[in-house]
Amino acid sequence: MEAELGLFLLILVSIGSTCAALLYWIRRAIGKTVALPHQTATSYIISLASFICLSLLIVCFVQDNFALEYVVTHSNSQLPVAFKVAATWGGHQGSMLFWVVTLSMWASLIAFKSPVNAQYTGDCLGIMNVLIAIFAWFTLATSNPFEYAQSFALEGRDLNPMLQDVGLIIHPPLLYLGYVGYSAVLALALAALFGRQPHHEWYAFVRGIAYFAWGTLTAGILVGSWWAYNELGWGGWWFWDPVENASLMPWLVGTALLHSIHLSARNKGAIWSTYALAFSTFSLSVLGTFVVRSGVLTSVHAFAVDPTKGLALLCVLVIIVFVTFGSLIYRGQQIPQSNIDTIFSRAYLCYMAIGLLVIATAIVFLGTFYPMVYQVLGSGSISVGPPYFNSLIYPLFVFSLVVLACSTFCSWQHSRAGKDLKVLCLIASLSVITASIVAIMVNTGLMLGVIFALAIYVVSSHAFQWVRSGAKISTAPKLFAHIGFVIAGVGAIVNASYSYEFSYRMSPNSQHQFQNVSLEYVDTLWKVGPNYTSEIAEIRLSTTEQHSFTLLPERRHYSVRVMNMTEPAIKSFWHGDYYITLGEKLSEQSYAVKVQYRAAIWWIWCGGIVALISMLSALLPKRSWSRVSDESFA
C-alpha cells in the first residue's frame, strides 16, 4: 500500500509541476498572468506530496518491504533502524527523490516569502516548477524507487558496509540542501533577468539563501571528510576523489558568489559577475550529480554506472547553462556597470578573492575531467592525483592569506593607512615574532613560517577590527568565515607536512616503537554485531609523557555483502591523532597493523565549524528577504 501510494504521489508531483510550469509560461508568453495565490497553493501541494512520497519510502525501508527492488538492494532485516532510514537516500533512486523533495521545499519557501512583487515571484515559481518537473520526470522514468523487484526476495542484500556509519545519515542530506539551495538562487537571478527591465536588486534578498546553501554544503563536505577519515581506514580527510571534487567546485563558486553579493551592494559593476556566479553554482551542482550518477568516473562514492542516466543529466545541464547564460548575454547590456576608483580598496581585493576562487575551481575542474576527456578522445588513460592539486592549490591559499592581510588596511573605496595603522603594525610585528618562535620550536621551513605569520596576523587583525567596530552581528559573518578558512587551511598544510605512518606485523605480546611512541599488541578479541562479525585487536599505545591508552581497531566481515571493512581506532590530541588500522590476517595469530600520526587533523574540522558560525550569524539579521520597493523593479 505504501509503495503504491508513494508512486502515485511521485506521478502527481511530476504531472502537477509540469502543468503548473506550462500554464504559467504559456500565459506569460501571451501577455496574461496566473494569479499568485494559485501558484502559491500549487507549490504547497507539490511540496507536501513530495514530502509524503519520501516519508512513504522511508516506511518501506523500516518495514522491510522487499517487494521493492530499491529496498532489496540497499537494506536487510538485520540492518539497524537508523541505517534503514539513511538507506532511503543512500542509493541513486532515493537520492534523486530527495532532490525533488528539496526542490519543492525551496519553491514553497519562495512562495511563502513572496519577495518583491507578484510578477517577480511568479517568475521565480515558474522557474522552480520547471526544475521540479525535470527532476521528477527523471526520477520517475529512470530512477523510480518504488519499482517492484523482478523476483521474490525474502531478504535484502544489505546496505554497502562503507555506508553503515552515522555520516551517511547526515552527509547526503546536507549536500542536497546545499546543491538544491542554489536552485533557488538561480531562480531568483534568472527571474530578475526575465522582467521588462533586469531587476538589479535581487541580490538584496538572495543573500540569506546563498548563505544557507553555502553553509549546508560546507557542513556536508565537512561531515563527508570526517566520515571518510573515521570509516574508510585510509587515515586521510581529503583524497581529491572525483566525487569529492564535484562537491568542492560548487562550494568554491558559491564562496565567490557570497563575495560578489557583498560587493554588489557597494559597487554596481559586480552585478554581472553575481549573475554569472549564481548560474555557475547551480550548474556545477548538477554537474556534480552527473558525476555521481553517470559512472563516467571511478569513485568509492559513485552510486550508478548507467550511462543513460548520465546522458539525461548531461542534457539537463546543457539546457540550464544555455538558458541562464543565454539570458545573461541577451540582457547583459542593461545591467549597470561601474569602475573601481583605486586598487587600494577592499572592493578591489574582493575582486581578487573572487578571481582566486574561480581559478581554484578551474584547477579542480581540469584535474577532474581532463582524464575523462583524454580517454574519450582515444589517447589512452591518464590519472591526475594529489600532487597536481596540492601543487596548484597551495600557492592560491598563500595568495589568499596575503589578500586577507591586505584587506585590513583598506576600506571599501580606498586605503585607510592612518586608521588603526599603529595597532595593525604592532599586530603584524607580534605575528612575525610568534611565528618565528613556533617555526624554531617545530623546525619548519621558511615558507611554512611565512604562512604561520600571515595566518596569525589575519586572525588577530580581523578579531581586533571586529571588536574595534563594536562587535556588530552584521560584520560577524566575515570574521568567522575568514578565521575558519585560515584555521582549516593551516591545519591542512600542517597535516600534509608533519603526518607519518608505519606498518608492522604484530601478534599478541609483540611490541614496536616509533617516534618516541611505544606500541604493544595485547590480545585479539571477537565480536558479533547485528549484521557482521569482527576481529578486534587490543593495542596499548604509550607516549613519552608516560600516558598509556588502549585502542581497539576492528576488522569486520559482512556476510550478506561478503565484504570486509576496517574500523580504525583513533586517539586524539590537540596536535593530532594516532590512527591505527587492523589489516589482513597474516598467520594464525598475526595481523598487518598500520599506525599513522595525522598532525593537526582536528584543526581542519574546527576551522570548518568556525566558518559555519558565519552562516548562522548571517541569518540572524533576517535581511536576506528584505523587501525592495516595487518601483525599483519596474
532: amino acid identity, one letter: Y
Residue 148 DSSP symbol: B
d(CA 597, CA 229): 13
Average pLDDT over residues 195-215: 80
User: Three-state SS for 580?
Assistant: strand
Domains of the chain (ranges plus CATH)? 1-164 (1.20.120), 500-601 (no CATH)
What pLDDT does 200 receive?
63
What pLDDT does 623 receive?
44
pLDDT in tens, 610-631: 999 988 888 875 443 344 433 3
d(CA 302, CA 172): 13
The residue with greater pLDDT, 310 or 91, is: 91
Contacts of 341 (CB under 8 A, 6+ apart): 413, 414
d(CA 4, CA 532): 33
What pLDDT does 196 receive?
64
What pLDDT does 559 receive?
83
The H-or-E segment that residue 390 falls in is helix 386-407
Residue 296 pLDDT level (bands cut at 50, 70, 90): low
Of the candidates 561, 528, 531, the residue with the CA atom closest to the CA atom of residue 72: 561
Of the candidates 436, 127, 399, 396, the residue with the CA atom closest to the CA atom of residue 279: 127
Residue 331 pLDDT level (bands cut at 50, 70, 90): confident
d(CA 132, CA 198): 24
Residues counted in the chain: 634
d(CA 30, CA 538): 75
d(CA 568, CA 585): 15
pLDDT at 478 over 80: yes
Residue 107 pLDDT level (bands cut at 50, 70, 90): very high
- Least confident residue range of 82-91, 416-425, 556-565, 569-578: 416-425
Percent of the chain at pLDDT exceeding 90:
53
Contacts of 402 (CB under 8 A, 6+ apart): 454
Of the candidates 87, 9, 563, the residue with the CA atom closest to the CA atom of residue 76: 87
Determine contact, residues 85/167, Cβ cutoff 8 Å.
Answer: no
Residue 116 DSSP symbol: S
β-partners of residue 578 are 571, 597
Q: How many helices (H) and strands (E) does the chain have?
A: 17, 10
Helix locations, 332-384, DSSP H? 346-376
What pLDDT does 104 receive?
96
pLDDT in tens, 24-52: 999 888 877 777 788 899 999 999 999 99
pLDDT at 204 over 80: no
pTM: 0.91
d(CA 290, CA 373): 15
Residue 195 DSSP symbol: S
What pLDDT does 129 receive?
95
pLDDT in tens, 232-241: 777 788 888 8
374: phi then psi, degrees, rounded to nearest 5? -60, -40
pLDDT at 60 over 90: yes
Residue 307 pLDDT level (bands cut at 50, 70, 90): low
| Alpha carbon of residue 201 to chain centroid | 27
Q: Extract the C-alpha cell encoding 340.
A: 573601481
Determine contact, residues 143/96, Cβ cutoff 8 Å.
Answer: yes
The H-or-E segment that residue 527 falls in is strand 517-528
Q: Extract the C-alpha cell encoding 125.
A: 515559481
What pLDDT does 417 receive?
52
β-partners of residue 512 are 519
Q: Extract the C-alpha cell encoding 344.
A: 587600494
d(CA 516, CA 597): 12
pLDDT in tens, 385-408: 889 999 999 999 999 999 999 888
Of the candidates 484, 461, 427, 439, the residue with the CA atom closest to the CA atom of residue 608: 484
Q: Extract the C-alpha cell encoding 606.
A: 574546527
What pLDDT does 629 receive?
37
The mean pLDDT of the chain is 87
pLDDT in tens, 273-286: 999 999 999 999 99
Of the candidates 502, 416, 445, 480, the residue with the CA atom closest to the CA atom of residue 617: 480
What pLDDT does 18 receive?
96
